[in-house]
Amino acid sequence: MISAAGLAAVGAGLAVIGAGLGIGRLAGSALEGIARQPEAIGNIRNTMILAIVFIEGVALFGLVIAFLAMGK
């Protein structure tokens, strides 16, 4: 049988998969944008970091819920 802590760990892993896909796609698009327009690197970088942090925040919500489930 899988324990509650094990299930919580699987959930945290799933959250990380989603965040990884999102951030990877975002960074790829940002690189394309920089390659096409190198002078816009500052703006693109700032916007990219902001969006990455939002995605990371969602992944961390999942992580916090996994912690809570682990404590049960």
In degrees, rounded to 5, the angle at the alpha carbon of residue 36 between the alpha carbons of residues 30 and 39 is: 85
How many residues make up the chain in this entry?
72
For residues 47 and 60, give the distance between their C-alpha atoms in angstroms, rounded to a whole number.
Answer: 20
- Shortest Å distance, C-beta 5 to another protein: 9
For residues 32 and 49, which CB has a smaller minimum distance to another protein in the complex? 49
- Shortest Å distance, C-beta 57 to another protein: 4
Asked if residue 70 lies in contact with residue 10, where contact means CB atoms within 8 angstroms, the answer is no
Q: Applying CB under 8 A, which residues contact another protein? A: 49-50, 53, 56-57, 60-61, 63-64
- Shortest Å distance, C-beta 21 to another protein: 19
